[in-house]
Chain A
Amino acid sequence: MKKILSMLLVVVMLLGLGAAAFAAEDGKITIWTWDPKFNIAAMNIAADMYHVDHPDVEIEVQEVLSDDIEQNVATAATAGDLSTLPDIMLCQDNSFQKMVTNYPEVYTDLTDLYDFEGFGPAKQAYSIIDGRHYGIPFDAGTVVGAYRTDYLEQAGYTIDDLKDITWDRLIEIGKDVKEKTGYPMFSGQAGSVDAIMIMLQSCGASMFNEDGSVNLKDNEPLKEVVADYMAMVEAGVFVEVNSWDEYIGTLSNGSVVGTFNGCWILATILSLDDQAGKWDITNMPKLANAEGATNYSNNGGSSWAITQGTDVDLAVDFMQMYRNVEFYNAILPTTSAIATFSPAKEGEAYSAPSEFFNGTPIFATILEFGEQVPSNITGAYYYDARNAVSTAVTNAMNGGDIDAELATAEDTVNFAMGF
């Protein structure tokens, strides 16, 4: 259904129905975002803090899911009626380039309006299009390796044995731990390629070249990633499950030793009261051969966009809150939303040790990890490439030749791009 919709949208767009009406100037800031315990809670705190000096500004935070935000932007832009859009909206980092490229008339160029000093460079890269800034970075998707220390101990390891290691070493440890405890190291949703994307970005590689062309067929780091991933699955160190819910289930019922994922996964782990004190975090393993390999990567996270219209100045002024260390300290305890604004790590909330994670100050640690994440290129066709790689990996796991599969994947993405 999404395909039909997007095709129709393109047709209508080509018919040139794009005479735009902008969001009305009404001295009121309307915000679209999702998740009442996370983004919405953060925005409500920002609104409360802003109201201290600006009591007259009305701020309304509306709950709209991320897919629906994208669909509503598409509908409004194609219909040429931007008056239905809010002043500020949240956008998934992986979708940012696609949205701005497809609907440039919707998003405000913030390059000269906002100070981006202090935000992690990899985070900023998601919302920079042709050298211009379109997004104000919000939550980090910095990858952490989270492990059950009780399981590791049973097998004679500590969390430090998993710090700064390579995937080869991880597989060795994983086999040993599995032999001694019976638990696999990691779990993940089959076909979702989250793990592969995380591993790929950890060496600064992407599925696209600088010029936007597809880079799958002769992408050596990608081949190494796929080989490592398949080795993990074959060794039983990484167990593939069928759905996201099952993946969460493996963590909550303690049937895996750990996971590596965006730091937002910690909120789920923190909700497992009976496992308090049994977890700790460190960085993720790195690729052994790829150039520029690091132990740091990113998965998920989102940034704020400001729509073109007449309330832009007001919206930009309000968004100065996201350069305010006090704000990040205020949202951390209630939302666990980890900033990408480096000065925030000086705040008290960030340096506090976490009882749940064996006393590690997880938030400051993650902010430090975040500064070392290599940036990657997402582009407008990120999800097409992701799906193509997913198919390639699935076929390779069923005995296909990975070189041939990646060549097919590259053709598929080129086709989607119209080449």
Chain B
Amino acid sequence: MSGAFRKNMKWALIYLFLIIASLISVFPLYWAFVSAFNNTQQILGGSMIPHGDLLTNIHNLMDQAAVLTAFKNSTVNTLLVLVLSLTVCSIAGYGFEIYHDKWKDRVMGILMLSMMVPFVAILVPMFQMFSGMGLMNKAMGFVLPSISTPFLIMLFRSNARAFPKEIIEAARIDGLNEVQIFVRMFIPTMRPTYAAAATITFMNTWNAYLWPRVIMKSNEAITMPMLVSNLMGGYVIDYGVVMAGVTICTLPTVIIFFFLQKSFTEAIAGSVK
């Protein structure tokens, strides 16, 4: 009896701790969403319940900032990066694991080392290159630096390790060529890894700020995070409008994460179905 009671107590404490921890992590998001329904005075007064100002805030936001342009730009840029980087990095990760070459671990080492270099260190030379190539204000200027990332290559490589070699051999015997093996065998098996990579890439690209700030100068090239930060740049800040902007900017990430979270946790844990 007392053993079962102690066990229940233990679980109750664990759940209590987890509930408190989740409340703390969700709270900022909750406050941002609720504040999108409130006006500046209610927000500064610390109101935690929604009032009826959502439409006014959205109307003012539309008035003040090019939300549609920014949303469209962010969507286009993010989709381009998603498709290109998932393709390039998965092929690279697959290649690194499946094919053999005595230099491949050194090349991988160099790739890993490049993760250590902070982005600001390469900002000026990158700017020089991209401005020289005429890619300022272009979606390609935004996309190119994010196509190949060491982290994604590493993720695909380590997950490809669990991909059964027997499948590849059997497929070769059945007459599939290397490209067909990758497309028909590897991609479907690795769906959770792709989902995880997509989630990470989506979040990083959608929220990218420093690089777009440097190369996207014209009003037509503005992205959502830039738009939100512009809302905070004035002498008078309308916090209701800012929070409406933050909500619109955050929603896509939240939605993507809800859909892909199961695969995300699976791939990070490294399992293959």
* Residues of A in contact with B (beta carbons under 8 Å apart): 1, 4-5, 8-9, 12, 32, 34-38, 60, 62-66, 68, 71-72, 75-76, 78-81, 83-84, 245, 248-249, 252-253, 264-265, 267-268, 271-272, 274
Contacts and interface: CB of A to CB of B under 8 A. Distances in A.
Contact of A34 (B123, B128, B234, B239): B234
5 contacts: A60-B218, A65-B233, A72-B214, A84-B131, A253-B45
Nearest to B136: A84
B236 A64 contact: no
A12 B124 CA distance: 9
A5 B235 contact: no
Given A66-B233, A79-B127, A253 B64 contact: no
Given A75-B123, A75-B214, A81-B128, A249 B235 contact: no
B121 interface: yes
Contact of B124 (A9, A62, A64, A248): A9
A245 B41 contact: no
Contacts of B131: 79, 81, 83-84
Nearest to A61: B219
Contacts of A81: 127-128, 131-132
A75 B210 CA distance: 12
B115 interface: no
Contact of A79 (B41, B64, B124): B124
Given A8-B120, A12-B124, A253 B44 contact: yes
B121 A37 contact: no
B57 to A, nearest CB: 14
B21 interface: no
* Most-contacted residue by chain B among A35, A76, A81, A264 (CB, 10 A): A35
B95 to A, nearest CB: 34
Contacts of B214: 71-72, 75
Nearest to A271: B236
A71 to B, nearest CB: 7
B65 A267 contact: no
Given A60-B219, A66-B233, A75-B124, 10 more contacts: A37-B64, A62-B219, A64-B217, A72-B214, A72-B217, A80-B128, A81-B131, A84-B131, A84-B136, A245-B239
A85 B239 CA distance: 31
Interface in B26-63: 40-41, 44-45
B234 A35 contact: yes
Contact of B233 (A5, A35, A249): A35
B41 A253 contact: yes
B136 A34 contact: no
A63 B136 contact: no
A34 B233 CA distance: 7
Contacts of B123: 5, 8, 75
A8 B121 contact: yes
A245 B240 CA distance: 13
A71 B212 CA distance: 13
Nearest to B209: A68
A38 B217 CA distance: 20
B73 to A, nearest CB: 14
Contact of A62 (B64, B132, B217, B229): B217
A251 to B, nearest CB: 9
A270 to B, nearest CB: 8
B128 A4 contact: no
B89 interface: no
Interface in B71-127: 118, 120-121, 123-125, 127
A257 B96 CA distance: 68
Contacts of A60: 218-219
A268 B236 contact: yes
B184 to A, nearest CB: 45
A417 to B, nearest CB: 23
A83 B217 CA distance: 12
* Most-contacted residue by chain B among A84, A245, A264 (CB, 10 A): A84
Contacts of B45: 249, 252-253
* Most-contacted residue by chain A among B45, B132, B213, B217 (CB, 10 A): B217
Contacts of B237: 248
A34 B121 contact: no
Contact of B219 (A63, A78, A79, A267): A63
B128 A38 contact: no
B21 to A, nearest CB: 24
A249 B47 CA distance: 12
B204 interface: no
Given A68-B213, A248-B237, A268-B236, A34 B230 contact: yes
B127 A75 contact: yes
B40 A37 contact: no
B65 to A, nearest CB: 7
B197 interface: no
Contacts of A75: 123-124, 127, 214
Contacts of A268: 235-236
B153 interface: no
Complex A-B, nearest 9 residue pairs according to Cβ-Cβ distance, in ascending order = A249-B44, A35-B234, A79-B128, A264-B235, A34-B233, A65-B233, A267-B236, A5-B120, A268-B236
B234 A62 contact: no
Contacts of B125: 79
Contacts of B155: none
A63 B124 contact: no
Interface string B202-241: 0000000000011001110010000001100111111100
A267 B238 CA distance: 11
A81 B233 CA distance: 27
A222 to B, nearest CB: 27
A271 B234 CA distance: 14
B213 A4 contact: no
B17 to A, nearest CB: 28
Interface in B219-273: 219, 222, 229-230, 233-239
Contacts of B121: 4, 8
Contacts of B40: 252, 271
Contacts of B219: 60, 62-63
Nearest to A262: B235
